[in-house]
Amino acid sequence: MALKKGFKQLLAEAGEKTRGITAEAAQARLGEADTVFVDIRDVRELEREGIIPGAFHAPRGMLEFWVDPESPYYKPVFTPDRHYILYCAADWRGVLAAATLEEMGFPNVQHLEGGFAEWKKAGRPTAPRPHHEKKG
């Protein structure tokens, strides 16, 4: 079955609507109060590979629900006045997620070019996945 649009076309269209950021430029923003690195990878990827230090984990499947204040799943880390750098393993999900957030009205969104793989390849800092204690 031929698809109306394949993943390559979806990525190309999203790439035209979004802004990427290099690992070098992104590292310069690491630790800035108004910048949030958002790791959209699956939790198993975080366990295996680690994360960018200080990144907020928002699984790709929940992102739209976590950024919308009208959603019962809203996370207050997401406010339109911050700068967001989204990343996944290779930047495919990052590009698509950045396009979605821009479509939702977030003005300061970028995706990490080459994703976490490029970040690590360039020798940028990584950290183990933070573990949170369960309440109750």
For residue range 69-87, list pLDDT tens digits in order. 999 999 999 998 999 999 9
Relative orientation angle of helices 92-104 and 7-17, to the nearest 10 degrees: 50
Q: C-alpha distances in angstroms, 100 versus 110, 119, 128?
A: 11, 23, 28
**Does residue 110 contact residue 98 with C-beta atoms inside 8 Å?**
yes
Give the model's pLDDT for residue 2.
Answer: 87
Give the model's pLDDT for residue 17.
Answer: 94
Residue boundaries of the structural domains of the chain: 20-121
Q: Give strand pairing partners of 127.
A: 51
Tokens of 102: 């821009």
Domain 20-121: give its CATH superfamily: Rhodanese-like domain (3.40.250.10)
Residue 85, SS3 per DSSP: strand
Question: Concatenated DSSP letters for 18-37?
Answer: SEEE-HHHHHHHTT-TTEEE
CA dihedral 67, 72, 75, 81 (to 10 degrees): 40
Q: What pLDDT digit, counting tens, does each position of 11-50 carry?
A: 999 999 999 999 999 999 999 999 999 999 999 999 999 9
